[in-house]
Amino acid sequence: MRHYQLFIDGEFVDSVSRQTFDSINPFNQEVVAKVARGNTEDAQRGVAAARKAFDEGPWPRMPREERASFLKAISDKINEKQKDLVALEVLDSGSTVRKAKEDIYLSARNMHSFSKMAALDLTENIEGLSKPGFSQNFLVREPVGVVGAIIPWNFPLKMAIWKIGPALAAGNTVVLKPSELTPCTAMELATIIREAGIPKGVVNIVPGFGEDAGEEIVKSPLVDKVSFTGSTAVGRKVMALASQHLKKVTLECGGKSANIVLDDADLNLAVDGAMYAIFYHQGQCCEAGTRLFLPKTTYDEFMDKLIAKTKKLKLGDPNDVATDLGPLISKRQQDRVLGYIAEGKEQGAHVTVGGSVPTEPSLSKGFFVEPTVFTNVDNAMKIAQEEIFGPVLAVIQYSSVDEAVALANRSIYGLGGGVWSKDKVRAMDVARRLRAGTVWVNEWHLISEKAPFGGYKQSGIGREFGLDGLKEYTEAKHVHVDELGSREKKFWYDTVVPK
């Protein structure tokens, strides 16, 4: 079992209350780590350290290339510690080892990409306004200040990197609160940050719960921006709390992404793609393809293949490379998913595969739910409208592409979407009509550091990744430099100033 303290102002310290909480392995319920429980006062200590590092420390003022080299060092160290981080992510989050390997590899790669962004000069000459002899006009991008970052449990290290990376690249300082369910790799990241020589107070990591540490970070007048990833329900709360100081917010929230198979799709590819879209990480992905729209013409053939393949998915020990689906994160999440399955049945949908907790004795201590496929689903049903965050697919038949697009857009969410077709022109037309931040054609789950990622509607506000994502961590400043010189040439010469 590991022990973790808070990481504040470059030091590992106990919480003021000396309280700890246990992080549990969702496969066998063993304690993975005892973690210091950061409360309100601890969050304030983290915020104060980040404030001081921003106002007085070298980080926001150092040359861009130097900041970039620090971020590159973090990336290199994640690579060096890859094996340990993979093992820890599996234990702490129930991620299959196959997914965890990808997560840790991508955490390092994403940080490397943020290090390159840190070196970019974002200053622009404002074309059309600058005119020799009149004025020069610059758009200067400056860090926002202290960033409060709050993350969920489904991609623990990756989410920490997605917050810390761009915030630091733009010159901000950070207070991060990892999820109380998966704090371990974020705390290992604290060690990496120390080893990489990042100046004290630039990154502070306060593990703890939403209602005390989380809310304090959001409410603190010393925090300039909140970057939150989590459920839409908590996102609404975060936005309301942040409004007290008109704090800037980036919200990356829930989804109910629509996956539309057109009648000319390669069926074998689309079946595999639909399974990857929903069952990857047991359906605990924000942009999972949870609603599958099938044309009536190919419905039977598609469903025969989908059902046969879903039955072959292997639930098991996440450490076993043969395992396709591990446990859900917690008993609470397992109960929530089972609750949705019961409601789906009550509302008249049919469970075609799965629908229960597996009975194998070897899985009895894990929070498992079978991969579940619902048919006879109406898009208005709860299982088609609410984010379940488990391995539950709602299949909906459609008669025309217009109907499929209309149903797909009938949702409060707009995070991801997908179209399967051999005809790129048809697919692009549907992609454009979907009200979602990312749409894949014949693909799913591909998120790149080079492209913006985020939600339409109640899936969020703002973007992560790409230059748009970096700019979320900057303030835009207009600097006007006069070139007229003499007083007489000024446009205000005749207005208020006496001659």
Q: Which residues bind ligand NAD (CB under 6 A)?
A: 150-154, 177, 179-180, 209-211, 214-215, 218, 229-231, 234, 237-238, 252-255, 286, 387, 389, 415, 455, 460
Beta bridge partners of 293: 260, 396
**Shorter beta-carbon distance to ligand NAD: residue 215 or 370:** 215
Dist CA 25 CA 71 (whole Å): 30
The enclosing H or E element of 289 equals strand 289-295
Identify whether the C-beta of residue 473 lies closer than 8 Å to the C-beta of residue 170.
Answer: yes
Told to judge if 252 belongs to the known catalytic residues of this protein, a careful annotator would answer yes
- The least distance separating ligand NAD from the CB of residue 241, rounded to whole angstroms, comes to 7
Torsion sign, CA atoms 210, 214, 218, 219: positive
- The least distance separating ligand NAD from the CB of residue 87, rounded to whole angstroms, comes to 22
Catalytic residue among 184, 253, 285, 286: 286
- The least distance separating ligand NAD from the CB of residue 71, rounded to whole angstroms, comes to 21
- The least distance separating ligand NAD from the CB of residue 240, rounded to whole angstroms, comes to 10
- The least distance separating ligand NAD from the CB of residue 286, rounded to whole angstroms, comes to 3
The enclosing H or E element of 476 equals strand 474-482
User: Tokens 């994403």, residue?
Assistant: 110
Residues 6 or more apart whose Cβ sits within 8 Å of residue 259: 273, 274, 277, 278, 289, 291, 292, 293, 417, 418, 420, 444
HEC readout, 148-191 = EEECCCCCHHHHHHHHHHHHHHCCCEEEEECCCCCCHHHHHHHH
**Shorter beta-carbon distance to ligand NAD: residue 344 or 455:** 455
Identify whether the C-beta of residue 382 lies closer than 8 Å to the C-beta of residue 347.
Answer: yes
Catalytic residue among 89, 215, 216, 252: 252
Q: Which of 13, 12, 185 is nearest to 88 (CA)?
A: 185
Helix (H, G, I), strand (E, B) or coil at 344: helix
Burial class (CB in 10 A: 0-12, 13-18, 19+), 347: middle
**Shorter beta-carbon distance to ligand NAD: residue 193 or 286:** 286
Identify whether the C-beta of residue 417 lies closer than 8 Å to the C-beta of residue 260.
Answer: yes
Told to judge if 286 belongs to the known catalytic residues of this protein, a careful annotator would answer yes
Shortest Cβ contact with ligand NAD: which residue?
A: 210
- The least distance separating ligand NAD from the CB of residue 169, rounded to whole angstroms, comes to 18
Dist CA 189 CA 180 (whole Å): 16
- The least distance separating ligand NAD from the CB of residue 329, rounded to whole angstroms, comes to 8
**Shorter beta-carbon distance to ligand NAD: residue 145 or 454:** 454
- The least distance separating ligand NAD from the CB of residue 495, rounded to whole angstroms, comes to 50
Using CA atoms, how far residue 74 sits from 63, 98, 218, 278, 490, in Å, is 18, 23, 26, 32, 51
Helix (H, G, I), strand (E, B) or coil at 351: strand
**Shorter beta-carbon distance to ligand NAD: residue 17 or 231:** 231
Helix (H, G, I), strand (E, B) or coil at 51: helix
Dist CA 259 CA 291 (whole Å): 6
Any idea which residues carry the catalytic annotation?
Answer: 252, 286
